[in-house]
Amino acid sequence: MEEKGNNSKITLGISSCLLGQEVRFDSSHKHNRYITDSLGEYFQFQAFCPEVAIGLGIPRPAIRLVKVSNDVRVRGVKDPEQDVTDAIKDYSRQAAKLCTELSGYIFKSKSPSCGMERVKIYSEKGDPLDNGPGLYAQGIMQQYPFLPVEEEGRLMDAHLRENFIERVFVYHRWQQYQNTLTPASLVEFHSRHKFTVLAHDEKVYRELGRLVADAGKADLKQLGKNYMSLLMTAMNQLATTKSHTNVLQHIMGFFKDKLSSEDKQELLSVLDDYRLGKLPLIVPVTLIKHYLRLYPDDYIASQYYLNPHPKELMLRNRI
Ligand code: SF4
């Protein structure tokens, strides 16, 4: 089941039941209001229900992951003879062809088809043995290893939510660049994401710098793939209060000599309060942007770190 909305927004794949579609095994839905009401302002959704797509019907008998020898199968809970493993794998390959324009995917947790991770895997006798990804989600993630993915439950965590949306915007910007990549455009893309990467992973930040320095010499297509792989590896690391403080101090270094001693003291005090968890990230970032309006710097102004996603989503108000 696929459904598309208007074309002006970034597109996310999503499990249909999270949009309120009554497609679950018991004809219910798992409508998530944060996704449709808040994220829906900025993203359009392409919905997939793999179990309905393979013809299981609504309602339908429940299925689950079952370990059979070294394989994980998807079988009926009541009728172990029912095995839809191959049908779900086939559908996952078909659906992946429709996902080329997606900039992220929100999966329904705990589903043997859609769960991103930690879905229960049972023994053939029905005892819980282990856990792993749902079979459909696993197929999509294998086809698109860099695609930002998340589950609806984890989106309720402020840090995971901010990280997912930031990854979506980085990935989406890369999608705009990748087809017309030149050494110069790679350097520009990297330059504008430097502080973003630094906030997530200092080691990868240095590796990316070395990679981009070779932009004129290496095979550009391969270089682009290597760049994306490293970039998304970094973005998958949660930025910490310490790493954000480090980045903010770096940025402050670009204009601190222009500040009066009172302004400098105020900024340092706000940074310290953020470091100690007394203020959210939005406060020092807003103050820095204020000083950048007074003392413009083109390089800092170009950094996506200062405007990673729409401020109306208020993602930095709680981290
Ligand atoms: S979790 Fe996936 S398979 Fe299950 S109802 Fe939702 S969209 Fe369909």
pLDDT tens digits for range 45-103: 999 999 999 999 999 999 999 999 999 999 999 999 999 999 999 999 999 999 999 99
Closest ligand 1 atom, CA of 50?
Answer: 3
**pLDDT reading at 41 higher than 60:** yes
The reply to whether ligand 1 has any atom less than 6 angstroms from the CB of 23 is yes
What is the torsional sign of CA 259, 261, 262, 268? positive
Rounded to whole angstroms, the Cα distance separating 262 from 45 reads 48
CA of 229 to the centre of ligand 1 (A): 29
Give 9 Cα–ligand 1 centroid separation in angstroms: 24
Strand-strand pairing, 63-68 and 119-122: parallel
The SS3 assignment for 313 reads: helix
213-254 residue pLDDT tens: 988 888 999 999 999 999 999 999 999 999 999 999 999 999
CA distance 53 to 114: 13
Provide the CA 208 distance to its chain's centre, in angstroms: 20
Give the torsion through C-alpha atoms of 227, 231, 232, 234, to 10 deg. Answer: 140
Q: Considering only CA atoms, which residue is closest to atom 8 of ligand 1?
A: 49
Note whether 58 and 19 are within 8 A (CB): no
Tell me the best of 25, 110, 113, 136 to mutate to test the pocket of ligand 1, counting ligand atoms within 8 Å of each CB and taking the most. Answer: 113
Distance 5 CA to ligand 1 centre (A): 19
Is a pLDDT exceeding 60 seen at residue 3? Answer: no
Residue closest via CA to ligand 1's atom 4 equals 24
The one-letter amino acid code at 67 reads K
- Tally of helices (H runs) and strands (E runs) in the chain: 12, 8
Looking at the chain, which runs of residues are DSSP E strands? Answer: 10-15, 43-48, 63-68, 71-76, 105-107, 119-122, 128-132, 149-151
